[in-house]
Amino acid sequence: MDDSTDTWEPHLLDEDEFIREVQSFAFWFEAIEGYLGDRPYGYDEDVAEAELDDGEKDRLVTILCNYCVGETAALEASSGLVRLASNNPSQIFMATQVADEARHVEVFRRRLTALGVDDVDAEIARRSNPELRDFRKRLLSFVDAGQWELAVFAQNVLLETMEDTVFRFHQSVADPITAQILTGVVADERRHLGFGENDLGRRLVRDPQRRRELAEVRAELDPLILGSFEASYRDLGLKPDQYPQLGRSYLEAVERLGIDG
């Protein structure tokens, strides 16, 4: 391709070439280099720690414990999905998602340590939301059963879209270091939720009958994930009438996929 001309643009790629490009390791590597190259732990190390009072720190620790559960679920599930992928670009993409999720777990756990948590695992076990832990078990059961569509829906559409909404809001009100960490995570989530919706969308065009099965899974998992993210908003100090439009992006996605009925 000749990208040196003044008329050239990515929208001119043919569709197969587009998929090969955006689901390649090279695309992922160059993309994350752009926003993480100088932030090995997700934030600029010259940024000073903000003064948080005991209550603010306690709520932030609880929120980060829940983020760790969600990200660990995605790390474990996406690593299993590498083996289930039906084609090479999807397999490469899922491998890049494994790396993203591992990084998310690492930076959130490091942040917990920086906030004074000595035993991170114990704190996560003590503080994390039981609905989110149930969601993790169910997601991993889909992976263990080899159910690609159900796992991609639960992970890349449901979990990732809800995380994206909560992380964006949290980023807007967080202390500077947490906000920078979340900015990098949100950039990664864009790839994950987009992959999920587009992969499922293409599959549902070929096999519309799968919508019923996905709708059943949705009915089972919606309460778990909505409940756990509502809890995050409470931990962020919001009252119900102040919640940002939790679930709106997710509802738009399931409507586009035709599993909103």
Partner 1 sequence: MTEDLDTITAPSADLATDTTPRRTYELEETGFLEVPKKWRKFYRHWQGAGDTLAPNEVICPVCKVVIRSRRELRPGDRVYCMPCMSRLVVVRRPDGTLEADVLY
Q: Which residues bind partner 1 (CB under 8 A)?
A: 1-3, 6-15, 17-19, 21-23, 26-27, 30-31, 34-35, 187, 190-191, 193-195, 197-198, 201-202, 204-205, 252-253, 256
Q: Which residue has the tokens 């993480």?
A: 36
Q: Least distance (Å) from partner 1 to the CB of residue 3?
A: 6
Q: Least distance (Å) from partner 1 to the CB of residue 255?
A: 10
CA atoms within 13 A on the CB side of 185: 34
Q: Least distance (Å) from partner 1 to the CB of residue 167?
A: 13
Q: Are 199 and 90 in contact (CB under 8 A)?
A: yes
Q: Are 202 and 109 in contact (CB under 8 A)?
A: no
If the CB atoms of residues 28 and 224 are measured against partner 1, the closer one turns out to be 28
If the CB atoms of residues 130 and 208 are measured against partner 1, the closer one turns out to be 208
Q: Least distance (Å) from partner 1 to the CB of residue 135?
A: 22
Contacts of 37 (CB under 8 A, 6+ apart): none
Cα 65 from Cα 71, distance rounded (Å): 10
Q: Among 37, 1, 6, which residue's Cα sits nearest to residue 20?
A: 1
Q: Among 67, 28, 76, which residue's Cα sits nearest to residue 181?
A: 67
Q: Least distance (Å) from partner 1 to the CB of residue 20?
A: 11
Q: Least distance (Å) from partner 1 to the CB of residue 58?
A: 31
If the CB atoms of residues 11 and 239 are measured against partner 1, the closer one turns out to be 11
If the CB atoms of residues 22 and 69 are measured against partner 1, the closer one turns out to be 22
If the CB atoms of residues 126 and 202 are measured against partner 1, the closer one turns out to be 202
If the CB atoms of residues 131 and 164 are measured against partner 1, the closer one turns out to be 164
10 Å Cβ neighbour count for 56?
Answer: 13
Cα 43 from Cα 176, distance rounded (Å): 9
Cα 181 from Cα 61, distance rounded (Å): 14
